[in-house]
Each structure stands twice: as C-alpha cells, then as structure tokens.
Amino acid sequence: MPLEFRCQDVGVACRAVTTADSKDDLLAKVAAHARESHGVELNDTLVDYALTQVRETER
C-alpha cells in the first residue's frame, strides 16, 4: 500500500505531497524535502510526529 505524507497535515504552509512504497523510503524523501524546502533537519521527535500523519493511499 503506497504511503503519503502532506506537509499541510503537520501545519506547514506547503502543498507538497510525498509518496513512497515503504515507510523508510517515505521518511528519506520527507527528510530531503524538509531540508531542501524548509531548511529543517528532521530529528527523532519530528520523525515520530511525521509518522503519525502518514496516510495509506489507494493509488
């Protein structure tokens, strides 16, 4: 089941939607996006929070 993470879901004013086929892959992509687009390095707390907002998609 593909996974999806939206910056909007964690209160960031950003329309980016990140998708991946595994949690590890998704986290890697989200971390890269956070660094490049938001200047944020994900720490363990942010990763845990982000994981609570990950959705499974039908696509």
Closest separation in Å from C-beta 43 to Zn ion: 17
Give the range of 5-13, 17-25, 39-47, 48-56 binding Zn ion by CB under 5 A.
5-13
Closest separation in Å from C-beta 34 to Zn ion: 7
The bridge status of strand 3-6 relative to strand 17-20 is: antiparallel
User: What is the spatial order of strands in the sheet that 3-6 belongs to?
Assistant: 17-20, 3-6, 55-56
- Taking CB under 5 A as the rule, does residue 42 contact Zn ion? no
> Interface with Zn ion by CB under 5 A: which residues?
7, 14, 16, 37
